[in-house]
Structure 1
Amino acid sequence: MADADVRVAEPSDAAEIARIQLTTWRTAYAEILPTEVLDNLDAAETEQQWQDAVSHGPVSVMVATESDWTVGFCAAGRTPEQEAAAADGTIPPDVRTTALISTLLVEPRWGRRGHGGRLLGVMAQRLAAGGATRGIAWIPEADEASLAFFHSVGWPPDGTVRTLDAGGRPVRELRLSGGLDLHFRQD
């Protein structure tokens, strides 16, 4: 493999981040999200949202590169209380040190090359350095590849689920949770 790296995203990365998000969603989520939702994703609007996130937060955004290509990205930050709450609404005692991995995507053609693991590993180190002790991620139940990836780092479902409305189609998501001292394993 050519040189692979992870670095903090810069505002100039917003177009590539948006491209990767749209390409990945249209490929990997074609069976999960309705066609009309995927068809109506606007590249310029998505780019502007990532430009704002990279420039102003509140999340940290990292990009994975291979040689001169940007191949994936990860966005994470402090977990809003409602995202960390148990199904009964109880707020966990560690909510202030829980981080939310809001997005972790690697463009499908660059998959299975370790980019996702590097992204999550570097982001976990960054979050831990900022005081976080654990992370959570919401993953569509039908996204078997992402569920298997997070399982490989010791982030199993924690029993909390939610159902989102994706253009009239319900999408059930599982909340995964785990420590930030990651150890990747092969199952």
Structure 2
Amino acid sequence: MAIAAVRPAELADVPEITRIQLDTWRAAYAGLLPASVLSGLDAAEAEQAWRHTVRHGPALVLVATEGDWTVGFCAAGPAPEDEVADARGALPADAATTVLVSALVVEPRWGRRGHGGRLLATTARSLRDRGFTRGVAWVPEADQASLAFYAAAGWESDGTVRTLDTGAGRLRELRLTGSLDLSLRP
């Protein structure tokens, strides 16, 4: 087995980050999102957005590698107020030290090898070292694999739900939350 690692993303990683995101979303969300939404994902637009994020933030972007292959990535940074507020709009006491994990994607063919756990743990450690204490992530309610992954990290639903209009239906997401002091379990 090749050596697995996690490192900060560089601009040279952006095409692969984009490919992994779009290919994985098209596979993983085929049953959750309309085919027209998935086929309409624009690679050039996504690559431009990732290039900006890697260069300027505000999210920290890390990539997982196995040998010479980039196999996944994670993006997380300060959570916008609307991502941590309760249903009435009230902010929790720790809003200023909460991060949003906006993307955590491992290409399916590289799954079940610990890359997701390494990405989340390394991201959490980096952000904890910068004074952040808690994370949130939005996960489709029907995405049992992602829900189980976050549960293994000790993250759980805080009871907040949002429903997104996909243009051809609705997608219900759960807000998961947990400490950045992670203890991943098998």
Letter in 2 for 1:68: D
**TM-score where L is the length of structure 1:** 0.98
The residue aligned with 1:107 is 107
The residue aligned with 1:87 is 87
Is 2:137 aligned against 1:137? yes
Is 2:5 aligned against 1:5? yes
The residue aligned with 2:22 is 22
Is 2:157 aligned against 1:174? no
Is 2:151 aligned against 1:161? no
Alignment of 1:31-46 (within 5 A): 31-46=31-46
Superposed displacement of residue 168, structure 1: 2.6
Letter in 2 for 1:125: R
CA distance in 2, matches of 1:185, 1:77: 24
- Any idea what the Cα deviations from partners look like across 1:62-102, whole Å, max 9, x if unmatched? 00000000000000000011100012211101000001101
Superposed displacement of residue 156, structure 1: 0.6
Superposed displacement of residue 117, structure 1: 0.1
Moved more, 99-108 or 85-94: 85-94
Moved over 4 A (4+): none
Is 2:78 aligned against 1:78? yes
Superposed displacement of residue 111, structure 1: 0.4
The residue aligned with 1:123 is 123
The residue aligned with 2:57 is 57
**TM-score where L is the length of structure 2:** 0.98
SS in 1 for 2:170: strand
CA distance in 2, matches of 1:65, 1:166: 32
CA distance in 2, matches of 1:130, 1:108: 31
CA distance in 1, matches of 2:156, 2:12: 35
SS in 2 for 1:30: coil
Superposed displacement of residue 184, structure 1: 1.3
Superposed displacement of residue 167, structure 1: 2.3
Superposed displacement of residue 59, structure 1: 0.7
- Any idea what the Cα deviations from partners look like across 1:33-77, whole Å, max 9, x if unmatched? 110000011111111111111011111100000000000000000
Letter in 1 for 2:54: V
CA distance in 2, matches of 1:165, 1:15: 28
CA distance in 1, matches of 2:169, 2:77: 28
The residue aligned with 1:149 is 149
Q: Percent identity?
A: 63
Letter in 1 for 2:58: P
**Unpaired stretches in structure 1, ≥5 consecutive residues:** none
CA distance in 1, matches of 2:64, 2:166: 28
SS in 2 for 1:38: helix
Q: How many residues align?
A: 186
